[in-house]
């Protein structure tokens, strides 16, 4: 594997390593050796160090003064802490959306929600791809909401949590396949709550969805931890 386009080399390396962490090809707790990565990818050690800082920001690695970079943990505790702040930030995004939107924005959101519903309903034979498609569609909705809410700090903070959340989805992927129909129901409820313009109702729908995802992930993790 070779990388080009020098202006975003560290970002490309970060995405490459990040993807390996998300699919747990690089397991929690394992060390990432700068020199080895640099030699494997034929890039400079400096670019790898930059990539590791980007991955630290995205909560996928932790960097320790002398030990270097380690893949961040994935335990019942860490998943609970992650979902606590993620659901809280999504609720904030939902409240800001209801505060901010004008009637003209409603059409755009409705269109996105229908796109997601179409994606979720079109999938009759769940496979690894279909789950990823639904996850991507969910993020598309979120990006659309970012444009309406216009808070770069909130957007950046949520985007930085996205890879760690994606990693938890991969934990529950098998389970997730079976509950794609359920996910479609949650999306529909989110859409209805958003349309109602009722901030409390939207917040409840976000929390219900987030807690459902959290429980799916925790169930698998607890099985793994007790195995």
Q: What residue ranges bind a copy of itself (CB under 8 A)? A: 7-8, 46, 49-50, 53-54, 56-57, 59, 65-66, 78, 81-82, 84-85, 88-89, 92, 96, 150-154, 156-157, 161
**Residue whose CB is less far from a copy of itself, 50 or 117:** 50
Q: Is the CB of 53 or the CB of 195 nearer to a copy of itself? A: 53
Q: Which residues contact 144 (CB under 8 A, 6 or more apart)?
A: 108, 109, 112
Least distance CB 106 / a copy of itself (angstroms): 22
Tokens (6 digits) for 12: 């490309």
Q: For residue 181, how many other CB atoms are within 10 A of its CB?
A: 11
Nearer to a copy of itself by C-beta: 37 or 54? Answer: 54
Question: How far apart, in whole angstroms, are the C-alpha atoms of residue 198 and residue 24?
Answer: 39
CA dist list (Å): 154 to 91, 135, 144: 11, 20, 13
The DSSP call for residue 125 is S
Q: How far apart are CA 209 and CA 121, in angstroms?
A: 17
> Shortest distance, CB of residue 184 to a copy of itself, whole angstroms?
29
Residue whose pair of structure tokens reads 């929690």 in the numeric block? 28
Whose Cβ is closer to a copy of itself: residue 100's or residue 114's? 100
| Lookup: tokens for 67 | 């030990």
Nearer to a copy of itself, 200 or 223 (CB): 200
- Whether 65 and 57 have beta carbons less than 8 Å apart is answered as no
CB-wise, 54 or 180, nearer to a copy of itself?
A: 54
What count of other Cβ atoms lies within 10 Å of the Cβ of residue 157? 14
Phi and psi for 123 in degrees, rounded to 5?
-90, 105
Closest CB 174 distance from a copy of itself, rounded Å: 26
CB of 134 to a copy of itself, least distance (A): 24
* Beta carbon of residue 161, minimum distance to a copy of itself (angstroms, whole number): 8
User: What is the nearest approach in angstroms of a copy of itself to the Cβ of residue 7?
Assistant: 5
């Amino acid at each position: 594997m070779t990388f080009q386009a020098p202006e975003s080399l560290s970002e490309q390396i970060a995405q490459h390593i990040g993807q390996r962490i998300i699919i747990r090809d690089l397991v929690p707790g394992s060390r990432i050796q700068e020199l080895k990565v640099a030699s494997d990818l034929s890039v400079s050690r400096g670019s790898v160090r930059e990539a590791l800082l980007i991955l630290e920001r995205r909560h996928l690695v932790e960097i320790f003064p002398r030990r270097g970079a380690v893949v961040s943990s994935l335990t019942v505790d860490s998943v609970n802490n992650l979902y606590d702040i993620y659901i809280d930030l999504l609720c904030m995004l939902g409240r800001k959306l209801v505060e901010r939107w004008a009637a003209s924005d409603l059409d755009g959101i409705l269109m996105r929600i229908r796109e997601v519903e179409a994606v979720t309903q079109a999938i009759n034979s769940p496979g690894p791809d279909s789950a990823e498609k639904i996850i991507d569609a969910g993020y598309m909705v979120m990006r659309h909401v970012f444009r309406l809410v216009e808070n770069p700090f909130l957007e950046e903070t949520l985007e930085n949590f996205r890879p760690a959340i994606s990693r938890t989805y991969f934990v529950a992927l098998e389970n997730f396949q079976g509950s794609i129909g359920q996910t479609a129901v949650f999306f529909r409820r989110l859409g209805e709550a958003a349309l109602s313009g009722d901030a409390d109702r939207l917040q409840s729908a976000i929390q219900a969805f987030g807690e459902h995802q959290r429980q799916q992930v925790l169930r698998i993790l607890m099985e793994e931890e007790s195995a």
